[in-house]
Chain A
Amino acid sequence: MIFSDINSLIMVLIYGVFASAISFLTVYFAMPKAIAFLLEKGMIVQDYHKSERPKVPRPAGPILIIGVTLSLMVIYCLTFNEKILAILFTTVIAFIIGFIDDKKVMPGWFKPVALLIAALPILLLGAYDTNLNLIFGNAFIPLLYIPVILIAIPVIGNTINSIDVLNGVASGFILIACIPLIISVYIFGNVEVFLASLSLFFVTLAFYKFHKFPSKIFPGDSGTLLLGAMYGAIAITGKSELIAIIALLPAIFNSFLFLSSVKRVVEHREITARPTSLTDDFKLSASTDKKAPITLLRLLLVDGPLSEHELVNRIFKLAIFSSILALISIVIQYYFVLGGKI
């Protein structure tokens, strides 16, 4: 990203503060009202990992999509960049798919297959570059890039959906993984997508206040899919695909472990043998059942039972570690791709 003069830098700062404030404040002030509304309507689920089994409202997706849409519409009105429209449409389609899954129990194949549609706006609006940044240089892949986009959005959407198993994990993970993504988009992408990445970060930051342990609201499939799809769309349009994948490595590893152990695309609720179980003092312990799927949670619990809060902190430590690896990768890519010049 090159700023020709100080005025353009100031404009970006103003736009950035404006977009961030809209996304953050919308979610921050609307979420308590949404929680009250969902409680009143009885749209609640039990939190099974706590002794008192509190009833937690769900989904938070509709509020998140309002925050994202308002922010991205403002960025589009200021920049008229089609990449912003592509990110917005991808996010909205992912939200609709998730919302359908929130309202009606859909088969396991539904989300990955339906998320292919969410990838289409990026292709149809031509909001991608045929040069893939590969840390040590670029690869010109005009043909291969189209299936890469079609695979990336469903994979990242479902990855964030799969990691949403404990209070605050999905939102906290996105927050941590957003930091290297924002820096990468700033260096290797363009200013408009950089503003969109700020929007994702601040929407998630405001949501994390309500989703962190102990959760006051759950995101639902609509929330996790929209966060994952938006993260993927920003990575593609901001030329930061590999950096984004590295930052998400523990979550991707979790999906890989689950899929390779159950050997089919299936919803977690369809699994009879659970990967973890609750002890009498409401700690989580790894299942000893050989038929139970292998997940990141199960591996984190092999050394002994942990409370939900301790387990969430361990997942965040892994997320911080992979984000540090992504930051190292940015430094390497900076020297190989840009030759040390922004």
Chain B
Amino acid sequence: MSSLFLLIGVIWFTLLAISAFLVIFIAPIDIVIFNNRTDLYITSIVQATIAILIVLMLIAFLNYLKKLYIQKKLHIE
């Protein structure tokens, strides 16, 4: 039971880390990379693509966590 609490805590912390990354690096991308000179929708597409990639990475990470947890607890692949 305590390991499930830990797992939920790790997932929460990962969500917070991703949120911080998106706010600090991806949200101001139009100013940092495009110097505020690109069309709003082009910036949006770039931000959306990066955000989707990050979500896919999150799913892959969760899958890895799940495999580790299940191998430890249920002893199956």
Contacts and interface: CB of A to CB of B under 8 A. Distances in A.
B24 A286 contact: no
Interface string B59-77: 0001100100110011010
Contact of A141 (B15, B48, B63, B69): B48
B57 interface: no
A246 B26 contact: no
Interface string A240-265: 00100110011001001100100000
Contacts of B22: 134, 139
B32 interface: no
B51 A300 contact: no
A139 B23 contact: yes
B31 interface: no
Nearest to A322: B8
B38 interface: no
A2 B51 CA distance: 32
A318 B19 contact: no
Interface string A1-15: 000000000000000
Given A134-B19, A303-B1, A321-B8, A139 B63 contact: no
Interface string B23-54: 11011000000000000110011011001100
A107 B69 CA distance: 31
A136 B8 contact: no
Contact of B51 (A136, A144, A246): A144
B66 A260 contact: yes
Contacts of B47: 139, 141, 144
Interface residues of B, number: 33
Contact of A256 (B9, B23, B26, B66): B66
The prevalent SS among residues of B at the interface is helix
Contacts of B20: 135-136
Contacts, number: 88
A318 B45 CA distance: 37
A242 B19 contact: yes
Contacts of A329: 12, 16
Contacts of B52: 144
Contact of A249 (B8, B24, B41, B74): B8
B19 to A, nearest CB: 4
A249 B58 CA distance: 14
Interface in A310-335: 314, 317-318, 321-322, 325, 329, 332
A144 B4 contact: no
Contacts of A317: 1
A45 interface: no
Contacts of A135: 16, 19-20, 23
A283 interface: no
Given A134-B23, A136-B24, A318-B5, A245 B40 contact: no
Contacts of B11: 249, 253
B44 A137 contact: no
A299 B4 contact: yes
Interface in A118-150: 134-144
A111 interface: no
B12 A318 contact: no
A290 interface: yes
Contacts of A318: 4-5, 8
17 contacts: A136-B16, A139-B22, A141-B48, A141-B51, A142-B44, A143-B44, A144-B48, A246-B15, A253-B8, A256-B62, A299-B69, A300-B1, A318-B8, A322-B8, A329-B12, A329-B16, A332-B16
Given A142-B40, A143-B44, A300-B1, 4 more contacts: A134-B27, A136-B20, A249-B11, A294-B70
Interface of B: 1, 4-5, 7-9, 11-12, 15-16, 19-20, 22-24, 26-27, 40-41, 44-45, 47-48, 51-52, 62-63, 66, 69-70, 73-74, 76
